Structure 1
Amino acid sequence: MLRKSIKKRGDFDIDIVAVVNDTVGTMMTCGYDDHNCEVGLIVGTGTNACYMEEMRHIDLVEGDEGRMCINMEWGAFGDDGVLNDIRTEFDREIDMGSLNPGKQLFEKMISGMYMGELVRLILVKMAKEGLLFGGRLTPDLLTTGHFETRYVSAIEKEKEGLQKAHEILSKLGLEPSHEDCVATHRICQIVSTRSANLCGATLAAVLRRIKENKGLDRLRSTVGVDGSVYKKHPQKENDVNDRLEGNIYKIDKYLYDMRLSEETLQEVSQRFGKEMEKGLGADTNPTASVKMLPTFVRSTPDGTEDGDFLALDLGGTNFRVLRVKVSDNGLQKVEMENQIYAIPEELMRGSGVQVSPEPVC
């Protein structure tokens, strides 16, 4: 459609070199400086990953020489029920209240769009059971979306986390005790740690596949990572005051199902590896939750690229139009000009639809 629209105008001489998403763009950008990069990962409003696969394993594309980048669309991992045993009541409530129930279940467990809401649901349930805030609830705490993911990051900060917890809970109309703030801090830790662990488990499956494809005992590879959750989330705290251990234990016990064991994470990694295999097969792809979409990008940058490029960046929250000038004069200089357009939330959260019959340039 883009080619058709450009041709219809008649006043541009533009060739469409590639159509890639943000994961592929992240991998390519990282690969420009680090030639060992062969994986792109996004952990932000949404989540996804891509990697370089051997052509001989991609049944959906003709040819078996060389490699091609695969856009995994891993946010849909679990849509076939393979993660049902580790999904909690809070995950199910998030899903039922979303615009696409039953879809993107893995994404709903780990991405920035849902982490704040997961914490809010936990706080509400514990308050109803009299375990937090003296059993008191407020309209703000009961309102969907009022506990933002940025609050999770703020509360987890090493030095001022408890102070931030008090400020945020007070903003929601509560009168939190010190113990309430400590409990909220721990809840945020558990939700975000689960997110990181699940992301790590699936990423391990990707790297294991690359290593096996190359027949190596030890893989040296680079992962290009981007996204607001990855960039803005603080380092995890090493410990909490000893006198608060009893309160921490209470929270850990209450959220036991969210604290995934190493054995469970290894099982998740194995399941994801099997879904990758299904997605690559022509016969099994239709039933795979991880679709493993060929991008027709057959190599990563080697640092010698140059020229003028028009890039359209459709991200999780914004649509960007960029003019990119790459200079190969020994300095690998890249200049960019861009215009940003906001994506309406109903489109951002909704399922894929064709917005218009033909793009307008």
Structure 2
Amino acid sequence: MTNPAEPAQRKIIHIDMDAFFASVEQRDNPALRGLPVAVGGSSRRGVVAAASYEARTFGVRSAMPSVTAQRRCPDLVFVKPRFDVYQQVSRQIRAIFAQHTDLIEPLSLDEAYLDVTSNHQNIASATHVAQMIRADIARETGLTASAGVSYNKFIAKLASDQNKPDGLCVIRPEQGPAFVAALPVKRFHGVGPRTAEKMAALGIVTGADLAAKSEQWLLTHFGSWGSYLHGAARGIDHRPVRPDRIRKSIGGERTYHDDIWAESALRDALESIADIVWERVERSEAQGRTVTLKARYADFQTITRARSLGAPVADRTTFGQIGHALIDQILPLQNGIRLLGLTLSGLSHAEDDEQSDERQPELPFG
């Protein structure tokens, strides 16, 4: 008998486009096909917004400083982003999703959750629905997508990354716990490099290691997130697909191996983070009025400074200028900076989010 406190078994698909920005550029410019391509600026302060699979073989990744990417791949071809084109293609893809279900939760321009437990074609097999969607995307856009099919969001997202690019992975309910147990925790959504390091120091490397810990132990070491981890390690995730899910804030932060003491280095770091965050802002098609700077000193004291405008922040230049004005408020530095973050909030379409906005994405190291 089903526990009435638990939802009925769902059929969830996570669709993730393959190297989306770079693939669009290679599609539209045949001369780029087969070459290592990075979408982003090539200047000293530039940041890679997306990398083709050819570039990834050299270790080039999104959010990486362009100078680091160029060093890893001397033949890397930089292409300026065309967000208007990416948004147009994203709308095509979402129209394909809408042919199958109204329960669509976009995470960004290039990925989304779909609940196809009940779908417009009354197709019993979620795997068949995923195959249809991938075929329609390829036919209508000339791009490939990978899909994960499972009984909850957590495993569906993990599965979509399992056979990339242009892959399909199906994890059935009876396979879920074993699938999670065998994976490294660094692949779990929400476990960034710093959290993975903390887990490793606590003896947690795989899902099985995580499942061996009690919920109380996880709560002690990871706060309220511990309950979610306890369930996820066992293949349990009751979060529904929320078509009305809209973020309250968009931001990012970076922790540095070496503390920053010099003003010039601090401002360069801010520019790099601002590039990445503004790219996320444009991808989400959001508008916000408040810019918040977060800084954590070498002694772990954390401070924030914020400025709100009467109208939405207009562009990347304005966003960066406000960030520098907030930097002015913490100068001169009395201690080294080990973490720096920048956030845009007060979004014009803000509603309740399912996750805390204070946990900003950790930006990968160059």
Normalising TM by the smaller chain, what interval? under 0.3
Q: TM-score, normalised by structure 1?
A: 0.21
Whose Rg is larger?
1
Greater helix fraction, Structure 1 or Structure 2: 1
Relative contact order: is structure 1 or structure 2 higher (C-alpha 8 Å, sep ≥ 6)? 1
Q: TM-score, normalised by structure 2?
A: 0.21
